[in-house]
Amino acid sequence: MSNLYYVLDLGGRDQGELWSRKPVPNKGNGSFLLINQIIKSKGLLSKENHVRFLHTSFDVTGERIATADHLGNVYVFNLDKNWFTLVCKTGIPLTNIVWNASRINEVLIGLSNYELRCYNVVTKALVSIMKGHTSTIHSISIRRCGRYALSSSFDTTILWDLNTYTKSRTLIGAQEVGVQQVFFLSNSNKIVTCFKDDSLFIWDSETMKCLHQLRSSVGAKLGFKCLSVTNDSRILVAGGRSRYIYIWNLDSYQLIQIIELPEKITEVQHLEFVHDNLSVNQMQLLAILGQDGVLRFIDTHLCKLEADVGSAEEKIHSFTLSKNGRYVAAILENGSILFYNISIILNHLHKDTQPVIRKVQLKKENNTSQEKKKTSALSGHSNTHASMATEDSLYRELPKGLDMKKLRKILKGFGEYPAKYRLFIWKTILRLPENHIAFDMLAKKGIHSSFVNIGENFPIKSQKLLRMLQKVLSALAYWSPIFGETEYLPMMIFPIIKLFPNNQLVCFEVAATLLLTWCQKWFEFFPNPPLTILNIVETMLGYHDPSLLNHFIKLDVSTQLYAWPILYTLFSEIMTKDEWLVVWDNLFSNHPAFMLYFAVAYLIQSRQSLFSTKLKEDVEFYFHHHNAVDITLVIKETYRLSTSTPDHLDPKKMLQDFIPLTDGQYPIFDCYPSFVVDYLVEERERIRDEELEYLRQKQLTFEFKKQKELTNKEEVAFYREQDQLLKAEQQRRELIIKEENKLAEKRKKLFAVRRELALRELESHDIVRRKFLQYQRNLKNIEVQRLDDELKRKIIQGQQEYDAVLETVEIKGLEIEAQKRKFQQVHFYCGYVYFQELQKELAAIQLKSQNMQVMKAAELRNSIINKSFDLRSKKEDALLVEDVLHNDYTATQVPIDCK
C-alpha cells in the first residue's frame, strides 16, 4: 500500500499553513496528511530531535483538532481554514486533552503534575487552573451543555463547575478497586463509570445516586480498558484485555451482544463509534484499535469486518474520530499524526452486503475463504432452547426413576442435562450418602488453622460464600490432613460452593467424591503436581497431536503449565459457567479417565491459538483465562479420543471406576505420602506456634511501644502544654502591659479632658458670679435709690404734715379769736375767765402740738438716719462678699494636679 500523503513538518514554528496545495486523499487507505515535528539543535554537532505527539481531540465541528506533544506544547490544526497555531507551552507533559462542546474555543487539559487547566485557543489565554487530584488524570469528560466536567484519576473522580471553575463534588471510595474510565452520556444527565474490577455503573449526575449496574453474565475477568457510546446514548460498547467486545442496550440495561474479534486481536486498545452523517444506523460501525496497531472498522449489526488501516510499518498507537464523521486522526508509534478520510476508507460501506448473524468476518487478500468467529451466545448452548421443553416433560414427573443408560442417551442427544434438574441428576449420579452425623462431627471442629485467613489469599466479594468455602475446606482438612496443605483446593472447590450455596453437606460430599474419583493419583508426589497424570496427558497429546507437543517443547512449556492449571481448577478458569456445567454433565456421566481425555481434546481444539504464541508467558496466560473455544466441539473430540486411543495409552487401565462415598461414615483418604504430609503438618504447626509466639511477642512489643509512644506523647503534650501556657502567660502579661499603657494614656487624656472641663466650668461659674454680683449691685443701687426716694417722700410728707398742723393751729387760733370776740361781747366777764382758761388750754395745745412736731421730726430724722445706716451697712456687706468671691476665684486659678 503506497504512502501517498502530504507531509507537514512544524519545525518548531508557532503558526502557519498546513499545506501549500490541498492534498488529495490516497484512494488506497484514505490518508492525506502527516504531521510531525523535528527540531534541530543548535551548535557544531546539530541533532534532529523528533517531538512525539501524545494526545488529540476534535472539536464539535470536526474541522479543528487540538493536539499535545511530550514537551507540553498544545497545537490547534484547522483543516477547514488550512492553518495551525501554537496555543501554549506548558512545559509539562499532558495526560489528556478534551474540547468543550459548548464553549467551542476552550479546551481542558490534564497535566502530569495532577493539574487540570482550561485554555482559550483563540486568545491563547489561561482561563483557569483547577487542582484537586493526587494522581495522574487519565480521563476527562465534558457535559454537552458545557457547564460541568468530569476528571478522573486512579482513586478519585471530581465533578467541576466550569462556570466558576471550582469543585462541585468529589467522588471517592475507589482507592482499592481503581477507576478505569468515567464520562457523561451525551443526551442525558447520566454518568457511566468503569472500575478496574470490570464493574460498570450508571449514575445520576445531579443526585449522584446509582441508577443501574451493567452486568455481563460472564464469570471471567473481562479486563475492560475502553468504552464508547453512540450519539443517542442508547448503545454502550466495552473492550479490553481480550478478543471480545461487549455491547449493552442502555434503554433496558441488558447485555445484547458479545462479538469475538479475529484471532490477530488479543487486546483492544481503543474503540469508538463512527458518527456517520449518512443515513446509516450509527450503532453499526465501530472503529477498533487492536494491540497489533491496526485500526479495524466493524459492522456490529452484521458482525462483519468492513475495512482496516494501519500496517506493520505504520502501526497506530491511538486514534480519534471527528464528530462529523469525516476524519480519523491516528497517532503512529513514531509520534507523528496521520489523517485519514473516513469516506475513502468506507467507500463500499453502503453497498448491499449479505448479513451474517452473530459473526465477525475477517477479510483475506486472496478472497478464497473467510474465517468466521462466532459470538458467544448469552443463553448458552445453541441447541439447548430447541429441546428444553422436551427435557422438562421427560424428567419433571420421574425424578427418582433415573438410570445411567437413559441419562447417557439424553446427554448424547442434547449435549447436556436439563438445567432445571441438573443438580438433582448430579447428586443421583454421584450417589451422595448425605451423612449428616458424620459431617456434623467434622463441622463441629470449627475452622481449620489452614483456612483461618483464607479471605486474604482468596478474596471473595460475598461474605456468605467465603464463610461457606471456609467451612467446607475445614471439613475436608479434618477428614484428611492433606487437604489442609493443598494450596489449590479453594480454587477447585469454589465452583461447587457457588452451585450449592445453601447446603454445606452436599458441597462437602460432592468435593469429597471428586477428590476420591476424579482426582485419583493426584497426591502421590505431593506437594509436587501429579506426574503420573501429567505424563498420561502428555503421552496422549504426543500420540494425537505431536506437532502441538513439539511446539510446547520448543517453547520450554511442560505439562505443569498447559495441563496442570486446567486440571486443578476443574476447567473453571478457561470457560464460562454454562460451558463448565455442560462439561461436567459429561464428566460425571463417564469414567474418571474422561477428564484426561477432555484436557487433551481442549488442547487440540486450541491448537491454532497456541501455535500463535511465541512466549512461555503467553501460554501460561492462555490457560488462566476464558478462551474462544467451542466446548461442543471439545466434547465431541473428547468422545473421539476416548474411542481412538490405543489400549496401552488408555488411562482407564490406570484409574479406577467411580468410587462413591460410603454410607454412615466417610472412607479414609490416605492416597498420599503420609510422611510428607505429616512433616508439612508438623512444620505448619511449628510455624504456627512460632507465629503465635511471634505475634504474642509482637503484641507485647507493640503494646510496650504503644505505651511508650503514649507516654512520650503525653510527655511531649505536657511540655507542649506547659510551653503553650508559658507562652500564653507571657502573651497575656504583654497584653496586660499594653492594656495598662493604653489605660494610662486614656487616663491621661481623661484627666486632660476633666481639667479642661473644670476650667470651662470655673470660667462659666466666674461669669455667673460676675453676673450675679452685678445683679446684686444693681439691686442694692435700686434699693438705695428707693430708700432715698422714700426718705425724700417722708421728708416731704413730714413737711406737708407740719404745714397742715400749722394751718390747723392757725385756723384754730382764728376760731378762738372769733369765739373770744363773741364771748367778749356776751359774757365779757365770765368770758374773761373762760377766756383765760381757754388761753391756757390753747397754750397747752400749742405746746403739745409743738412737742409732737418736734418728736415726729426727731423720730423721722432718727428713722432716716437708721435707714441710711442700714443702707451703708448692706453696701459694705455687698462689697465684702464681692471681695470674698474675688479672692475665692483667685484661689481657684492654682493648677490642678492630674495625679
Structure confidence at residue 896 as a pLDDT band (50, 70, 90): very low
The answer to whether the beta carbons of residues 597 and 520 sit under 8 Å apart is no
- Nearest-5° angle of CA 18, CA 22, CA 27? 115
- What is the pLDDT at residue 454? 87
Q: How far apart are CA 362 and CA 890, in angstroms?
A: 127
Q: Tell me the three state secondary structure of residue 556.
A: coil
Q: Name which residue leads in pLDDT, 128 or 349.
A: 128
Specify the CATH number for the domain of residue 615.
Answer: 1.10.472.80
Structure confidence at residue 474 as a pLDDT band (50, 70, 90): very high
Question: Per the domain annotation, does 352 fall within a domain?
Answer: no
- What is the pLDDT at residue 155? 81
Q: Name which residue leads in pLDDT, 282 or 28.
A: 28
Question: Per the domain annotation, does 632 fall within a domain?
Answer: yes
128-149: average pLDDT: 89
Residues 853-867 pLDDT 10s = 778 777 877 777 776
Q: How far apart are CA 634 and CA 638, in angstroms?
A: 6
Neighbours of 695 (CB within 10 A): 11
- What is the pLDDT at residue 366? 34
Query: Which of 255-269, 272-286, 376-390, 836-850 is modeled with the greatest confidence?
Result: 255-269
- Say if residue 589's pLDDT is above 80: yes
- What is the pLDDT at residue 40? 75
Structure confidence at residue 377 as a pLDDT band (50, 70, 90): very low
Question: Per the domain annotation, does 110 fall within a domain?
Answer: no
Residues 752-787 pLDDT 10s = 998 999 998 888 888 998 899 899 889 988 988 888
The answer to whether the beta carbons of residues 67 and 74 sit under 8 Å apart is yes
The answer to whether the beta carbons of residues 70 and 47 sit under 8 Å apart is no
E strands in 291-412: 295-299, 304-309, 316-321, 327-332, 337-341, 359-362, 371-374
Q: Kindly report whether the peptide bond that precedes residue 527 is cis, defined as omega within 30 degrees of 0.
A: yes
Q: End of a domain among 653, 670, 701?
A: 653
E strands in 164-240: 166-171, 179-184, 190-195, 200-204, 210-214, 224-229, 235-240
Residues 791-806 pLDDT 10s = 888 889 888 888 888 8
Q: End of a domain among 620, 653, 686?
A: 653
Question: Per the domain annotation, does 747 fall within a domain?
Answer: no
Question: Per the domain annotation, does 372 fall within a domain?
Answer: no
- What is the pLDDT at residue 43? 55
Question: Per the domain annotation, does 825 fall within a domain?
Answer: no
- What is the pLDDT at residue 390? 29
Please give the torsion angle defined by the CA atoms of residues 807, 810, 811 and 817, in that order, rounded to the nearest 10 degrees.
180
Residue 51 pairs with which residues in a beta bridge? 37
- What is the pLDDT at residue 888? 57
DSSP string for residues in 711-776: HHHHHHHHHHHHHHHHHHHHHHHHHHHHHHHHHHHHHHHHHHHHHHHHHHHHHHHHHHHHHHHHHH
Residue 560 cell numbers, joined? 505443569
Q: End of a domain among 624, 653, 682?
A: 653
Longest Cα pair distance anywhere in the chain, in angstroms? 226
- Say if residue 217's pLDDT is above 70: no
Residue 323 cell numbers, joined? 464528530
- What is the pLDDT at residue 393? 30
In the Cβ-directed half-sphere of 216, how many Cα atoms lie within 13 Å?
25
97-111: average pLDDT: 91
Q: Cα dist. 351→31, 152, 325, 534 in Å?
A: 22, 42, 18, 54
The mean pLDDT value of the chain amounts to 82
- What is the pLDDT at residue 701? 85
Q: Cα dist. 403→367, 425, 429, 431, 742 in Å?
A: 52, 10, 8, 12, 109
- Say if residue 300's pLDDT is above 80: yes
Question: Per the domain annotation, does 450 fall within a domain?
Answer: yes
- Say if residue 47's pLDDT is above 80: no
Question: Per the domain annotation, does 813 fall within a domain?
Answer: no
Q: Name which residue leads in pLDDT, 828 or 11.
A: 11
For the entire predicted model, the pTM comes to 0.44
405-411: average pLDDT: 84
- What is the pLDDT at residue 412? 85
The continuous run of DSSP H or E covering 511 comes out as helix 504-513
Closest CA to 329 of 601, 18, 631: 18
Q: Which residues contact 253 (CB under 8 A, 6 or more apart)?
A: 202, 212, 214
Query: Which of 231-240, 352-361, 834-843, 871-880 is modeled with the greatest confidence?
Result: 231-240
To the nearest 10 degrees (0 to 180), the angle between helices 546-554 and 531-544 is 120
Neighbours of 753 (CB within 10 A): 10
| Number of domain units in the chain | 2
Q: How far apart are CA 521 and CA 533, in angstroms?
A: 7
Domain range for 635 is: 404-653
399 by Cβ neighbours in 10 Å (0-12 / 13-18 / 19+) ranks as exposed
Q: How far apart are CA 85 and CA 328, in angstroms?
A: 20
Query: Which of 196-210, 629-643, 664-678 is modeled with the greatest confidence?
Result: 629-643
- What is the pLDDT at residue 723? 86
Structure confidence at residue 406 as a pLDDT band (50, 70, 90): confident
- What is the pLDDT at residue 881? 61
Q: How far apart are CA 609 and CA 628, in angstroms?
A: 9
840 by Cβ neighbours in 10 Å (0-12 / 13-18 / 19+) ranks as exposed
